[in-house]
Amino acid sequence: MSVSAQIIGEHAQTLLRAGRTVQVLARTSQAIFLSVQGELVWVSPNPVLHRRAILVERLPLWPEDLILAVQGQSLVHGHYEPLHFHAAVGWVPPALSRRPQDLPGRAARFGLLFLPFLLQVKECLGASKVQRVQEAVRAQDGPSLVQAARDLVGYGPGLTPLGDDFLGGVLFGLWAARRHPMGAADLMAWAQGRTSWLSLCLLADLAQGQGPAPLHAFASALFAGSWAEAKRKAFQLLGIGNTTGVGLLCGTLCAWALC
């Protein structure tokens, strides 16, 4: 018995070089999380593309703490079924076009369609926390944004806390709009130990414009002015996790409406 990968994210593919060892950190019903060279990748049948994801039809029967070896383009262990990724199609996040001049207006109008989700996130995280982030984005004040972001790291429900998801959406939105907050690297360093390693890795990715495929697809559609397509992609984004999708959507719209 063996498992074959259908799609592999470009970062996961880069990390899984022959001769390296891989440790199973944790497993859930939907994913197995792996550590490779101190980096995170995951195996999942959930068809959400990501630079760190390896998509399979079913999860291999690997227990936590198992150590696997990368042999060729396979993950192997003598007593457990291997995972082969030699035939997997590589996935790279698509490049975004330049931000439209009327992006704040587009984001504000689009936000009205999803107002209940925006209000839900604001209520869960706290109006004052969200407001401080909004004020920093509006003022284009990077240090203030980083300071306000500290109140959100590790805060809220979810495997990746809602505060991290919302903040990640804000950082991705600013990156997509070509407005990179100064001090983001300092924020990532400060966040060490204040949220889960999974959430920290994803937050760092988002700060560099790297997110799940539905987030990139939503951004592309809204930038292109395809209202119906953007709405469809937004609902796909909302389907990620219990809180991840809604946090990413609301954070991204927040950044674009104010930047």
pLDDT for 14 equals: 96
Per-residue pLDDT reduced to its tens digit, 91-103: 998 888 889 999 9
Band of the pLDDT at 57, cuts 50, 70, 90? very high
Q: Could you tell me if residue 120 is left (phi over 0), alpha (psi between -120 and 50 degrees) or otherwise beta?
A: alpha
pLDDT for 182 equals: 67
Q: Tell whether the model's pLDDT for residue 183 goes beyond 70.
A: yes
CA dist 92 and 40 (Å) reads 17
CA dihedral 201, 159, 55, 207 (to 10 degrees): -30
Band of the pLDDT at 234, cuts 50, 70, 90? very high
The C-alpha R_g of the chain, in whole angstroms, comes to 19
Q: Say which residue the tokens 């197995």 belong to.
A: 32
CA dist 239 and 18 (Å) reads 35
Of 68-72, 126-130, 136-140, least confident by mean pLDDT is 136-140
pLDDT for 215 equals: 97
Domain boundaries, the chain: 3-91, 103-258
**Which residues touch 55 (CB under 8 Å, ≥6 apart)?**
5, 6, 7, 8, 44, 45, 46, 47, 49, 88
pLDDT for 109 equals: 93
pLDDT for 231 equals: 95
Amino acid at 161: P
Top-confidence residue, 4 or 226: 4
pLDDT for 185 equals: 82
Top-confidence residue, 17 or 178: 17
Top-confidence residue, 186 or 119: 119
The overall average pLDDT reported for the chain is: 94
Q: Tell whether the model's pLDDT for residue 23 goes beyond 90.
A: yes
**Which residues touch 45 (CB under 8 Å, ≥6 apart)?**
30, 55, 56, 57, 58, 59
Mean pLDDT (whole number) for 232-257: 95
Q: State both tokens at 255.
A: 């950044």
Q: State both tokens at 84.
A: 């082969």
Per-residue pLDDT reduced to its tens digit, 62-78: 999 999 999 999 999 99
The distance of Cα 73 from the centroid of its chain, to the nearest Å, equals 25
